[in-house]
Amino acid sequence: MSQFDTLLFDKDGALGHISLNRPRVLNAYNVQMRDDFSEALAAVQDDPDVRALLISGQGRAFCAGADLSEFGTAPSQVVARRVRWDRDVWGQLLGLRVPVVVAIHGYCIGSGLEIALLGDLRIAAQGTTFAMPEVQLGMVPAAGGSQTLPRNANPSEALELLLTGRRFDAEEALRLRLVTRVVPDEDLLEVAHKAAHDMASLDRDVVAAAKSAMSRGPELTLEDALQMETRLAVQSLQDQPP
């Protein structure tokens, strides 16, 4: 296990596991966590033996959002936001070739929800509380929330969540398609770990091609998207060992 200041990172065979580790502040996202997260994601991307990634949180929460006490030390919100953009953690997550399973519990607020929405399979414990409070705090979400939220939920419902910042539970998150499964709190890590292990058994290149087809397809016409799918399918067969 590699232990960073703000997260734990280990490998179990073909499965990588990143666990946010600032439990005293409900895993609030700060600059050090940004840097640690970026390094761990780079390690996953560069390791050909890793075929799936599990992301979870230590303690009573997945992630309660940005560390506002740290933002309060910045000269302005502009500087605070620039600090968050210095490393493109969100782009790294989106660009991972391996499937990403996110285990969500406790609180999944702001940046926590933005991290989760960049995962491929999002499994939530029944007792989880969700919210996207940035607009209520005088900020526009800058870690993908304004884009990933309406790509999962109905756009009008996504806008309502953004503008009100209200809290909602796991069952509503499931109805809104922000999570893919809800399980009893005590089963979360077991279910998420099994799902990630199952994905780790898949061919890395085939998974990467399938993820690429799914992400790029909506930007194309149906005819172009089908042609792209055919090209990726042929390429994946050509890459298979004889």
> Is residue 75 very low, low, confident or very high in pLDDT (cuts 50, 70, 90)?
very low
> Is residue 57 very low, low, confident or very high in pLDDT (cuts 50, 70, 90)?
very high
Lowest-pLDDT range of 44-58, 164-178, 215-229: 215-229
Q: Chain-wide mean pLDDT for the chain?
A: 85
| Helix (H) or strand (E) run with residue 188 in it | helix 188-200
Predicted pLDDT of residue 72: 52
* Whole-angstrom distance, CA of residue 186 vs CA of residue 209: 34
Question: Which CATH code fits 2-200?
Answer: 3.90.226.10
Domain ranges of the chain: 2-200, 204-238
Residues acting as catalytic residues: 114, 134
How many residues belong to the chain?
Answer: 242
* Whole-angstrom distance, CA of residue 233 vs CA of residue 235: 5
How does pLDDT run across 194-216, given as a tens digit for each residue? 999 999 998 888 877 777 777 77
- pLDDT over 50 at 235, yes or no: yes
Strand spans (E) along the chain: 2-3, 7-12, 15-20, 52-57, 100-104, 107-109, 121-125, 129-131, 168-169, 181-183
Q: Which residue has the tokens 């990630």?
A: 196
How does pLDDT run across 164-191, given as a tens digit for each residue? 989 999 999 999 999 999 999 999 999 9
Provide Rg for the chain, Cα atoms.
18
- pLDDT over 90 at 220, yes or no: no
Task: Give 9's strand partners.
Answer: 2, 18
- CA torsion sign, 151 to 155 to 161 to 164? positive
